[in-house]
Amino acid sequence: MTRSGVLVMDKPQGFTSFDVIGKLRGILKMKKLGHTGTLDPMATGVLPVLVGTAARACDILPDETKAYRAGFALGSVTDTQDSSGKVLETHPVHVTEADLLRVIPAFVGQIEQIPPMYSAVQIGGKRLYELAREGKVIERPARSVEVQRITLTAYYAETGCGVCEIVCGKGTYVRTILHDIGQALGCGCIMTALTRTAACGFTLAEAHSFADVESAMASDGCADALIIPTDRLFAALPALHLNETQANKYRNGVRLDLARLRGLTDASRWRVYDAAGGFMGLADADRENGVLRVYKNL
């Protein structure tokens, strides 16, 4: 059986994130799989899949920064905010590169973003895309999201088409950023292509196709050669190495005396390893009571 860890997939167009998980379950013959962030069917690129016990880390990832390369076309508004949707408006485009560069900074930083109707956001117990498919449009509260950077890498004024690179935090809709830029320019904008180039510290260079995974399974009976160790997800945290006695206590959920641990820093959370260097999980310091608590066994 394939070991636990991270399998970085290069999601093909036309697949949902759940489709990728379903296909991998069949290839790997494993049920315990999870992904680190939804990608729309139109999108391609980096989709880290958590394999085996690593799936327990889905809700505790410290780095949820994502990077995208997005194609766009000015002059249209669609119900999905991308080229797959129904055209609602068309406008003439007289936008220069300077116009774009003047507007883009307003969408960098902590911004308020209204999620699109065609999204998995739940309101009143129902997914927005379910309501959208019924022809309904409802009021959606704006949400605060973080956009670290938007870089215009290509723009062709004669067609109103271009490409930009966006680095953002969890819950950010790239197509909504482009839609809102189009609104600010007064001509509308839709996303025409989307590739996620990085997520959770992993890049496209580390991503694999279904064919890669199938080949590994055919040659080795497992995909271990493609699996990245789970602790890579928490590389930003300091490491804490326990002796054999302490490691056994950690595995059993026993609190450890902070005063007896070596190599502690002022950090509040650590990556925890056993005496042989095996990654066990995460632990938090309870300095008020002088103990180290198990945060998550992985």
CATH number at residue 221: 3.30.2350.10
> Does residue 187 sit in the same domain as residue 269?
no
Catalytic residue numbers read 40
CA–CA distance, 268 with 284 (Å, rounded to integer): 6
Model-level pTM?
A: 0.91
Strands across the sheet containing 256-257:
239-241, 269-273, 279-286, 291-297, 256-257
Alpha-helix residue ranges (DSSP H) falling in 51-121: 97-103
> Does residue 128 sit in the same domain as residue 151?
yes
How confident is residue 208, by pLDDT bands cut at 50, 70 and 90?
Answer: very high
152-157 own/partner pairs: CB under 8 Å, 24+ apart: 152/97, 152/100, 152/101, 152/104, 153/69, 155/97, 155/100, 157/95, 157/96, 157/97
> Does residue 113 sit in the same domain as residue 124?
yes
Structure tokens at 130: 């379910």
Contact 11, 44 (CB under 8 A): yes
69-96 confidence digits (pLDDT tens): 999 999 999 999 999 999 999 999 999 9
Alpha-helix residue ranges (DSSP H) falling in 44-173: 97-103, 128-133
> Does residue 100 sit in the same domain as residue 13?
no
CA–CA distance, 26 with 42 (Å, rounded to integer): 23
> Does residue 29 sit in the same domain as residue 129?
no
> Does residue 90 sit in the same domain as residue 192?
yes
> Does residue 100 sit in the same domain as residue 153?
yes
Measured from the Cβ of residue 257, the count of other Cβ atoms closer than 10 Å reads 11
106-150 confidence digits (pLDDT tens): 999 999 998 887 777 777 777 877 777 877 787 788 899 999 999
Contact 34, 81 (CB under 8 A): no
Q: Which domain holds residue 179?
A: 66-199
> Does residue 59 sit in the same domain as residue 86?
no
Nearest partner of 18 among 2, 32, 39, judged by Cα:
39
How confident is residue 209, by pLDDT bands cut at 50, 70 and 90?
Answer: very high
Total of domains in the chain: 3
> Does residue 46 sit in the same domain as residue 89?
no
Q: What is the pLDDT of residue 174?
A: 96
Contacts for 159 with CB less than 8 Å, ≥ 6 apart = 73
> Does residue 109 sit in the same domain as residue 134?
yes
246-278 confidence digits (pLDDT tens): 999 999 999 999 988 887 878 899 999 999 999
Q: What is the pLDDT of residue 187?
A: 97
